[in-house]
Structure 1
Amino acid sequence: MGILVLIGRILFVILFLGSAVGHLTKTRTMAGYAASKGVPAATAATAASGLLLLAGALSVVLGVWADLGALLLAVFLVPTALIMHRFWQETDPQARQLEMIHFQKDIALAGACLMLLAFFSYVGHDLGLTLTGPLFRIE
């Protein structure tokens, strides 16, 4: 089971690692987009969210308190969906559809992160192929 979960962790975090790199290397560009969506202190928020993504993704993939890493990713995803992808405010049908897709993707990934949090916390040290056990213990 350990190798299958490791492969799953690697595949899962590819999206988040790529996004973290973008947040941290293209901060001005991404901050401009965030500012257009009404995010206050967009440059600082973009850099901080990049660090949050990086910490969460590395935690999950390396298995260092992977449960905490999954929680960090969920903490990023839910506000991002609600702030950045407000499809209900779009009047253009195509823009509305695109924002709805992004909103639903973020919410679905947040759900997956919460399931991983529960899974990693429940399985604990029996998961294998991790550097540490979970930070939380869900019974």
Structure 2
Amino acid sequence: MDVLVLIGRLLFVALFTASAVGHLTKTKAMAGYTASRGLPFPVAATLGSGLVMLVGSVSVGVGLWADLGALLLAAFSFAAALLMHGFWKEQEPQARQMEQIQFSKDMALGGAALVMFAFFAYAGHDLGLMVTGPALSIG
């Protein structure tokens, strides 16, 4: 079971890790998109979101207070869905559909991150292949 949880954790954070690297290495280009969505301080927002994803990914991936890392990834995902992929604002049908897909993806990832948070906070001390147990405890 421990190996399956580790594989699942690593597969889950792969998307966030790759995105974090993009945010932190292609900041100027990504900040342009952030600015186009109307967010203030686009460079800072891009760097900040990249750091949140990186910290959350490392936390979940290596099992270092993975519950808190999962909460960071959930917060990022929900914020990205609402702030970056407002499909309801799009007039052009293809753009609306693309933003709705991205919105749905981010909401699903946020939901999965919340499930991981609950899993780690509930069973974290009983899981192997973790550096630490959870920072928070439920149940």
TM-score, normalized by the shorter chain, greater than 0.5: yes
Aligned match of 1:22: 22
In 1, the alpha carbon distance for the partners of 2:60 and 2:124 equals 13
Residue in 1 that maps onto 2:67: 67
Structure 2 equivalent of residue 129 of structure 1: 129
Within-5 A mapping of 1:13-92: 13-92=13-92
Inter-partner Cα distance in structure 1 for 2:133 and 2:104: 31
Quote the Cα distance in structure 2 between the aligned partners of 1:24 and 1:124.
30
Distance in 1 (CA, whole Å) between partners of 2:122 and 2:102 is 30
* Distance (Å, rounded) in 2 between the aligned partners of 1:80 and 1:96: 16
Task: State the identity %.
Answer: 63
Q: Distance in 2 between matches of 1:124 and 1:117?
A: 9
| Matched positions, count | 139
Cα-Cα RMSD: 0.5
Provide, for residues 71-110 of structure 1, a one-character-per-residue CA deviation record: whole Å limited to 9, x for no partner: 0001111111011000011111100000000000000110
Moved over 2 A (4+): none
- Partner-residue secondary structure (3-state), 1:64: coil
Distance in 2 (alpha carbons) for counterparts of 1:74 and 1:6: 19
Matches within 5 A, 1:88-107: 88-107=88-107
Q: What amino acid does structure 2 have at the position aligned with 1:39? A: L
By how many angstroms is 1:124 displaced? 2.1
